[in-house]
Chains A and B, each alone.
Chain A
Amino acid sequence: MSIKYNDFVIRFANVNGSGSASANGMFAKALFRMGIPVATRNIFPSNIQGLPTWFEVRVSEKGYLGRREGVDIMVAMNAETLVEDVASISPGGYLLYDNSKPLAKALRRDDIHEIAIPIAAMMLPEFTDPKQRSLFKNIAYLGALAGLLNIEFDVITGMVSTQYKGKDALIQPNIRSLELGRDYAVRYLNAPLPLQVRRSDAVGDRIMIDGNDAAGLGSVYGGATVCAWYPITPSTSVAESFENHSNVLRIDKETGQKKFAFLQVEDELAAIGVVIGAAWNGARSFTATSGPGISLMSEFLGLAYFAEIPAVIWDIQRSGPSTGMPTRTQQGDLIGAAYASHGDTKHPLLFPSTPKECFDFAVQALDLADRLQTPIMVLSDLELGMNDNLSDPFEWDDSRRYDRGKVLSAKDLDEVEVFGRYLDVDGDGIGYRTYPGTHPEKGAFFTRGTSRDEFAVYTESGAVYQRNMERLQKKWQTARTMVPEARIANLGHSVGVLYYGTTALPMPEALDNLAESGIHMDTCRVRAFPFGDQVEQFIASHDLVFVAEQNRDGQMRLLLINELQTNPAKLISVLYYAGLSISADTITEQISDYYIENKLSRVTEVQS
């Protein structure tokens, strides 16, 4: 039998709270350290202990990081989900299970391979404490997988030594459990399997990190000094990352005091209120939330849009509406975020696809908020935010300066003859602002959500109100030129595919699949709203554009139609919203089906 290297999907079925996350994480990290591209996915319940949880690792020498349908190896450690877990294994795949209790006959499949290891029985003589027995079972199956898949054992033991540095008492039992598992696999199971890993250089200099951690670190680099937040899955780790990194990187060397304020508040209304109050007073500030939080923040977002106050809001999207599936991913907040609040409001949105982009957009969002004097929302999702992803390493140019936008200092005010907070001096729709307390005589103004004239004086004049709203529209046009441009690959095909955020992850694989069947497409990865000229031109220059996204209503498609007046017939939705992330198989299938149904020619002509 020929050996297949570095190309499989392994899924671990565990019980939430059983300590499996650490062992599963080590599995993925070991492969990553062997230079093999991996993508991890945590499928977890809204629960602390007891409900089923799955951890999936996609291993791909080709570097395909999106989700793939089918499971090649199932590590079935949860009796409750055994039936569905066994059923989900692809034909020819492997079932690793604990045969301390025999497998029910009804579960047996003759089209898969069984790998039976008496893990619980093996732990019995080793540990007297039942909690330890249970915990080290996870390490034992990791050891068995090392033997079965040919993972370099030194890599794993090295991680154990690093992880428990200073807690030497924990190193020995971990290593012992790893060895027990591996030795059993080697002695009794004909290891290694025909499905194996081997050292590669396909990872390059990439790092492995989750998007939320990258966002928190980026906010530190971007100069955020105030973070106010309210816990909500899947966004919580953005704020936690900011605090953790700040506690190391933002401590005054002489006094030990903090160069940041980190405040967990009573709800999302307070979180956005603190952010707006801090930004009004000249501090870079941000919050992190998910869809329900955006709903609660909406009144304040309208105020900040109209009163023109910077704010950065991370929306780590989850399945909605309402509380929906709070621990599953979705791209469902586009419309709600883009037009959040009452009256004529709209807000710039950024769509990161990788942890590197989370880091970069964290910095850029703070710059854009200050420059445009308006809330900027970064729409990530659970898939990117809470899973370890391969990413290009973070970069920083030490000559980079924060763009604090149009702010007048006391000295500036001395030189300015006329100061009007909402005067469009430069013709870009953006006025000059002052921080409170700047000057004894000049520059003070009153901020309000009610209408006011160019000098911030209250007015109910319809003409003045309308003039102001038109200036905000001009500012929106300025924003179009400042937000991140779409990434476009234009080879002159007549059909294109447009996508954003984590829908980018399975796209290279989907495009390869489609190309094999004669379907070739140009690509446009949208990175921001409002849409720049490039997006408009991309749509205009293609006969048909598939819009791939992860929600029911095709929200990006609706935004494009609404904002660019695109002919709806030209934009074909490719949709997935069943809680997991969209897979290459889904994209391939839906586009292929469209080609079949509409009898489109398979090899599109290349115009050069």
Chain B
Amino acid sequence: MTFVAKPRVHHPKLPVNEIGLTRRDYEGSVSTLCAGCGHDSVSAAIVQACAELSLPPHRFAKVSGIGCSSKTPSYFLNKSHGFNSVHGRMPSVMTGSNLANRDLIGVGVSGDGDSASIGFGQFAHIVRRSINMLYLVDNNGTYGLTKGQFSATNDKGSTSKKGVPNLYEPIDLVSSALQIGASFVARSFSGDKKQLVPLIKAALMHKGMAFIDVISPCVAFNNHSGSTKSYEFVRDHIHNVMDADLIMTHDEVTADYAEGTREDVSMPDGSTLQLYKVDADYDPYDRVGALNYVQRMQEKGEVVTGLLYVNPDAVECHDIMDTVSRPLNELTEADLCPGSDTLAALNQRYR
């Protein structure tokens, strides 16, 4: 494996964001994934979203499981700590990280094998807990690192590179997230940066669990005709219902959407979530309706994308637990230890 370090010299004309940083300050190491891998586009979208939001690049906690997708936290935000943990267990590690320090921005990256197979249980349960994070799945329907076995999100009938069809029903993570109660559910496509970057921005500023299923074709094992996760198939069957953007209070509104209507939603931190109804009949606040719609379209072979459901008033796990506002990892003996007098009184209780 060759490793070419990126030059640290910035182009003089690179735009600077509100905190004086350029996009380069949000990048990571050079990717070791295949040329043309959808996952690299997703990493680039994360870099762009974080830079545009002017978030401090060292205040993230990046956690992943195992697989191609889970390698990607190395490829963005290298000023932040990252944790490439155990296959399928990103949700539990992220839960712990978030409990320890609620102030960091949690970015969990997983794959379809990681979240829909070995880690399906952990996926379901972190949705229940409403951990304040972005949960992003690079969904390519295949196990790349072990050379192209079907994953659980691969559609029934979709074929392998050798033309063998998948015989089993797929798991749709978007439907699962909606059913279990995620407060922000979106689907996008790694080939549609215009849609993906604003969705990531909105997800990062959402309070509670924000889930984005990104269909991200595997150029090595799942990009042939016969596959329903190829660039071509997804482009032909995509059905966008709802674009979203996250506008910081003072930003200028520069929407370039032709169709549909715009709706502004005030976010708890003072920013504005802007929704653009691409499909005029779609209601992004109706969780059950969203689930119904996604399932019906899936029956027709259509891939519904966009911001599918959002609850702007959602709470996060720390609200549910009623923990102190200070990060738990900053508490000291004075906060935590009840001391000897209290212990003497406790001893008395056990007599």
Contacts and interface: CB of A to CB of B under 8 A. Distances in A.
Interface of A: 32-33, 207-209, 217, 220-221, 223, 225-226, 228, 249-250, 252, 255-263, 265-267, 269-283, 285, 299-300, 303, 393-398, 400-402, 434-441, 444-450, 458, 460
Contacts of A32: 351
A273 B86 CA distance: 9
A208 B348 CA distance: 10
A339 B83 CA distance: 24
Interface string B187-213: 000000000000000000000000000
A396 B344 CA distance: 9
A384 to B, nearest CB: 15
Interface string B90-128: 011111111111011000000000000000011011000
Nearest to B90: A273
B170 to A, nearest CB: 23
B84 A448 contact: yes
Contact of B95 (A225, A252, A277, A400): A277
Nearest to A445: B81
Contacts of B186: none
Contacts of B164: none
B93 A274 contact: yes
B181 interface: no
Given A273-B122, A444-B58, A261 B321 contact: yes
A207 B348 CA distance: 8
Interface stretch (B249-257, B294-302, B329-337): B329-337
Contacts of B336: 220, 223, 225, 250, 259
Nearest to B339: A398
B100 A226 contact: yes
Contacts of B96: 226, 228, 273-281, 283, 285
A436 B61 contact: yes
B156 interface: no
B338 A225 contact: no
A367 B228 CA distance: 52
Interface of B: 1, 56-61, 63, 73-74, 78-86, 89, 91-101, 103-104, 121-122, 124-125, 129, 318, 321-325, 328-329, 331-333, 335-340, 342-344, 346-347, 350-351
B324 A280 contact: no
A270 B323 contact: no
A450 B125 CA distance: 27
Nearest to B318: A261
B104 A436 contact: yes
A225 B92 contact: no
B79 A273 contact: no
A274 B92 contact: yes
User: 6 shortest A-B CB distances, which residue pairs?
Assistant: A277-B96, A273-B92, A283-B100, A282-B329, A278-B96, A436-B81
Contact of B100 (A209, A225, A256, A259): A225
B86 A223 contact: no
A221 B350 CA distance: 17
Contacts of B56: 440
Given A225-B100, A273-B91, A285-B99, 18 more contacts: A32-B351, A225-B328, A249-B342, A250-B336, A257-B323, A258-B322, A266-B124, A276-B96, A277-B93, A277-B99, A278-B328, A283-B329, A401-B333, A435-B101, A437-B61, A444-B79, A449-B86, A460-B1
Given A250-B336, A257-B324, A446-B82, A436 B350 contact: no
